[in-house]
Structure 1
Amino acid sequence: MITALIAIAGTLLGAAATHYFQRVNADRTVRQNFAERLRQDRLTAYHAFATSVIEYRHEQIERWHRLNRDPDAEANMRSEAYDKKAAVRSQILRIKLLTSDEALIRLAEEAIDASRDIQRSGTGPGAPGEHEGRYLRATAAIDAFVRHAGSGIQNHSAGNLTELR
């Protein structure tokens, strides 16, 4: 009789331990899947933003060149520039939904501002040099955003690897 009770208690204890460890493992899998999905969503959002801001920068460069050739072209070009800027602003909203990294958001805003300033270079004798400086500033701002975003994505991946160990 005592042997039977010990066997029943052992079986119940084994079942409880198995359930506990399966639950812990399932919870860890859910957390890892969520973290990987968030990482993938961030990667997609950061890439889409960088692509949009590069297109916006290109539009501003083209706008500056056209305005230097024909100052009356502003009315026709303004709507194209606004469309590109709206696409960039949409992408930054997506980033804000996916991260609380204020430095990354600040870098994204700087990339937008620097790209916008390209077409404000003016048309005087020193304008090409100023234009080139603003282009380089915009390019550097985009690169800074990409480096910071990439660092966050890579560090997050490394954190998941150590969590698995």
Structure 2
Amino acid sequence: MITALIAVAGTLLGSIVTHYFQRASAHRAIRQSFSERLRQDRLSAYNAFAAAAIEYRHHQIERWHRLRQDPGAELNSRSEAFSQKAALKTEFLRVKLLSDDSRLHRLADEAIEAIRGIQRTGVAACDAEEHEQRYLAATAAIDAFVQYAANDVQTLPAVNAKAVGSASQ
């Protein structure tokens, strides 16, 4: 009789321990999956932001040259500039949704403002040397964002296990 009770207790204990370890393993797998998915989404968002920033910078450079050749071309180029900036701001919002890193947000905002400074409407036209300086500042701002974002996606993020656990329930 005692042997049977020990066997039943051992079976129950083994079952409880197995359940605990399987549950812990499942939560770990969920956290890892969530962490990897977030990393992939951030990589995509950071890449899209950088691509939109480069496109906006390119447009601002072209716009500066067009306006130097024909000061009356402002109305034609303004609409396209707004579209390029809107695309960049959309990607910035995506970055904000995927990351709560205030330094990353600040670097992205600085890149947008530096690019915008290449050709500002209503501001006295700058000479070629000042234009080159603005271009270099915009390029440096984009590079600073990319370098900081690269560090974010190349390191393992700390995932809030509580948030992941509640999402899986």
Q: TM-score, normalised by structure 1?
A: 0.91
Deviations 1:113-162 (A, max 9, x none): 000000138546xx0000000000000000000000001111226x79xx
Give me the whole-angstrom Cα distance separating, in 1, the residues matched to 2:101 and 2:47. Answer: 16
Secondary structure (helix, strand or coil) at the match of 2:117 reads helix
Tell me what 1:56 maps to.
56
Deviations 1:77-111 (A, max 9, x none): 00000000000011111111111100000000000
User: Residues 26-41 of structure 1 correspond to what in structure 2 (within 5 A)?
Assistant: 26-41=26-41
Secondary structure (helix, strand or coil) at the match of 1:118 reads coil
Q: Percent identity?
A: 62
Runs of 4+ with >3 A deviation: 120-124
Q: Does 1:6 align with 2:6?
A: yes
Give me the whole-angstrom Cα distance separating, in 1, the residues matched to 2:145 and 2:75. Answer: 31
Count of matched residue positions in the alignment of Structure 1 and Structure 2: 157
**AA paired with 1:30?**
I
- Note the residue ranges of structure 2 that are not aligned, 5 or more in a row: 160-169
Tell me what 1:69 maps to.
69
Aligned residues: CA RMSD: 1.5
Deviations 1:13-42 (A, max 9, x none): 111111100000000000110011011000
Q: TM-score, normalised by structure 2?
A: 0.89
- Note the residue ranges of structure 1 that are not aligned, 5 or more in a row: 161-165
Tell me what 1:100 maps to.
100
Secondary structure (helix, strand or coil) at the match of 1:119 reads coil
Q: Does 1:24 align with 2:24?
A: yes
Give me the whole-angstrom Cα distance separating, in 1, the residues matched to 2:125 and 2:83. Answer: 24
Secondary structure (helix, strand or coil) at the match of 2:155 reads helix
**AA paired with 2:156?**
H
Higher relative contact order (CA 8 A, sep 6+): 2
Q: Does 1:80 align with 2:80?
A: yes
Tell me what 2:109 maps to.
109
Tell me what 1:46 maps to.
46
